[in-house]
Structure 1
């Protein structure tokens, strides 16, 4: 074939061939890789089909929803699926093949089936939950002991979210005067950065674990259709491994996300989380008051019982003490009598001994001895007891009872 075609002519042949071969509309399953709305209300998408590894791409094509259809499709899908059209979502769409000389091949989206996406989302949720259960981690955070006084709170949220403001205001203005200490770990709560942001926040909290009693994840102020960002395996796994109890308040009235299911507690809104924490503090406060009252009542009862026991013992001891005192007095009197008699006997005995000693002394008195016919002879003033003490010519003095004589020894 020697005919020469211009590029535009070739493009027209390709276009006409495609339209001839594929004249109808087709239902196609694809994943939204990228999605943008422009200023005039048109929606431009990049659709992909991934390999089973969920990473590598098998095919890719551009698609468009013109503004007159996009308003309807967007509203219809969100109302039916409870989810916004967004990156990463798998959808079933009714398309027509489009070919443009400049922009090439694309798909013109005419309709969407929310039921397919709902099923895919539910299947994905179940697959994530099943995987967590198989790994044995599904209930790990729920099994952590909840703090008795949940006063130090690590908050994962967006600083500008109305829900975060409501949460903090509700805690601060609680009617009981409780003081809560909180630190915000700011992160996007919707969109592609939700996963990495929450995981980084959890890591930062874990590095200061001793400063907090628990962590709360509150979404506040976001659309109810953004819940699927929390049907995420990595976020859920991080929560199951987190060393502190995690409470979620991501604001969905109908369904629980995977993040809600693995958390220690799941509540509907940030305000509900604040109410729960205030309630925990109040419950502990009331319990302490009850214990204090119980201790006071028991102490008073013990004091009264002790008083009664003491009074009973006193009443019992009075007659016993009186009887014992009387017995002791009688015993003392008896001992006194015995002691007096013993002393008298002892004194009489000593008196008799003294009398005997006196008589003996009288008998042995030299005067009385001389009266009985004895004499006392002395030499130079010394009483002589033996004859050998005397020698010839000694002058001796001899004393009688009625006088004394002096004599000289003439011989031995």
Structure 2
């Protein structure tokens, strides 16, 4: 299509001309201020300008609105999401964006909006049933076998989620369950998607996510049937369907709520490379401890073997001494008996006539010889029994209990491996808790969100409530990507501003 194909009488406008005509038409239709009632949504306070940007809506339509800082100073309340208000302002056409908006100069509360009332109704109903209690929430598996992702396949959320999955751990499969994720028509798709989860084998966690959008797009997540579908899911559910300020009933009943699809993927998938590095370090520590314990046990075993050798040599010496003692005792007894026999013969030769004395001495000699024989036989029997005991111990295959020592060594080794495994599990859990705590207390997060840190450039001291600046001071304001040089023209305490408003 070109200009030659158009009728000669038809006027061709530029975008700026047509936008100017629209603005002029609005100014003619609404030349003065208009009053409007509705529910606030997408409320944002711009810093450091102090302007409020929002949408005012009802069940059918919505309109952009702005309240500049000069008018916002007269507010007696804090504009919030879902608040029903009565406002007065002037309609205008913002040509750069092609949007009709209302520039508000006065605003007052008029009650809670319908959308927020529905949110509060479902929230209070589920709270009475105990569905929002922290004890009901299930822990997210540390090592999931499979992840089910409920989202729109045409949105950017699915690609953000899969990108983090590819970076963290490619070994965990992801099953994408397509569903519409915004608007009231999405409720049917969400209920169908959650009904498919029990039929997916191996799924350990479900992630419900969507990209950014307005607060109106989140109303489907305040429905009671969607919330009960999340509660009935057999595995833990992670939601990433809004921003930090957008909380829905689905977020309250979910087992874990995060702000973005990227954060959801980081919480669900474990870092395979980091886990492998931790496992390697733990394996080295375990092997080092095991090697040290093994060397210690081997040293003790060598000491036992040396002691067994000393004991065996000692038993041999005792056996040899016993044999020699038996031989010496036998020779001693034989010698004693021989001498007594000789003495007896001498006495018998000298005492020929006193027969009675000879008979008496002979009887005593016989008793003495019998006693010595019995004593010798008893000593010989005890020594033979002791020798048989030593011989029995020497004949055993394991005289010093090496097998028992080996069994004890095996039990100690297994106990050491089990203790080190438990210690490794405790260290891993402690590491995850410390990492989460370190991330939540990161001092750079407020600066990344746009907050400024004020300091005095000469001394470098920070500006605090206990150390306020003075009029005329030059301050340095820093955020993560911006530095400003500021000059103080007025200093007022918060209590003074409140007193001024009440006056």
Tell me the TM-score normalized by structure 2: 0.43
SS in 2 for 1:173: helix
Change (3 A) 1:114 1:286: farther
Query: Which of 189, 192, 198 does residue 200 from structure 1 map onto?
Result: 192
Task: Answer whether contact 1:252 1:269 (CA < 8 A) is retained.
Answer: yes
Query: Which of 281, 286, 292 does residue 301 from structure 1 map onto?
Result: 292
Matched, 1:74 2:64: yes
Identify the structure with bigger relative contact order (alpha carbons < 8 Å, sequence gap 6+): 1
Task: Answer whether contact 1:157 1:186 (CA < 8 A) is retained.
Answer: yes
Query: Which of 159, 162, 166 does residue 165 from structure 1 map onto?
Result: 159
Look up the match of 2:318. Answer: 327
Change (3 A) 1:230 1:81: farther
**Higher share in strand:** 1
Look up the match of 1:310. Answer: 301
Look up the match of 2:223. Answer: 232
Task: Answer whether contact 1:161 1:221 (CA < 8 A) is retained.
Answer: no
CA displacement 1:295-342 (0-9 Å, x = unmatched)? 323422321221121133234333222212222344467789999xxx
Look up the match of 1:126. Answer: 120
- CA shift at 1:283, angstroms? 6.9
Pairing of 1:178-217 with structure 2 (within 5 A): 178-208=170-200, 210-217=201-208
- CA shift at 1:135, angstroms? 1.5
Task: Answer whether contact 1:250 1:269 (CA < 8 A) is retained.
Answer: yes
Matched, 1:136 2:130: yes
Task: Answer whether contact 1:149 1:280 (CA < 8 A) is retained.
Answer: no
- Which blocks of at least 5 consecutive residues in structure 2 are unaligned? 1-33, 40-56, 68-78, 89-101, 331-503
Q: Distance in 2 between matches of 1:294 and 1:114?
A: 67
Pairing of 1:143-158 with structure 2 (within 5 A): 143-158=137-152
Pairing of 1:258-269 with structure 2 (within 5 A): 258-269=249-260
Stretch moving more, 280-289 or 140-149: 280-289
Task: Answer whether contact 1:248 1:265 (CA < 8 A) is retained.
Answer: yes
SS in 1 for 2:235: coil
Task: Answer whether contact 1:81 1:114 (CA < 8 A) is retained.
Answer: no
Alignment length, in residue pairs?
254
**Higher share in helix:** 2
SS in 1 for 2:64: helix
Task: Answer whether contact 1:152 1:182 (CA < 8 A) is retained.
Answer: yes
Matched, 1:270 2:258: no
Task: Answer whether contact 1:150 1:213 (CA < 8 A) is retained.
Answer: yes
Look up the match of 1:251. Answer: 242
Q: Distance in 1 between matches of 2:182 and 2:109?
A: 23
Task: Answer whether contact 1:158 1:188 (CA < 8 A) is retained.
Answer: yes
Matched, 1:218 2:212: no
Task: Answer whether contact 1:141 1:241 (CA < 8 A) is retained.
Answer: no
Q: From the CA coordinates, give the structure whose radius of gyration is larger.
A: 1
CA displacement 1:256-277 (0-9 Å, x = unmatched)? 2221121111111001111222
Pairing of 1:48-67 with structure 2 (within 5 A): none
Tell me the TM-score normalized by structure 1: 0.51
Change (3 A) 1:181 1:121: same
CA displacement 1:72-100 (0-9 Å, x = unmatched)? x33459xx6668xxxxxx977899xxxxx
- CA shift at 1:188, angstroms? 0.8
Look up the match of 1:37. Answer: none
Look up the match of 1:105. Answer: none
Q: Distance in 1 between matches of 2:146 and 2:36?
A: 53
Tell me the C-alpha RMSD between the 2 structures.
4.1
- CA shift at 1:211, angstroms? 2.1
Change (3 A) 1:125 1:293: farther
Look up the match of 2:47. Answer: none
Q: Distance in 2 between matches of 1:331 and 1:223?
A: 104
SS in 2 for 1:211: coil
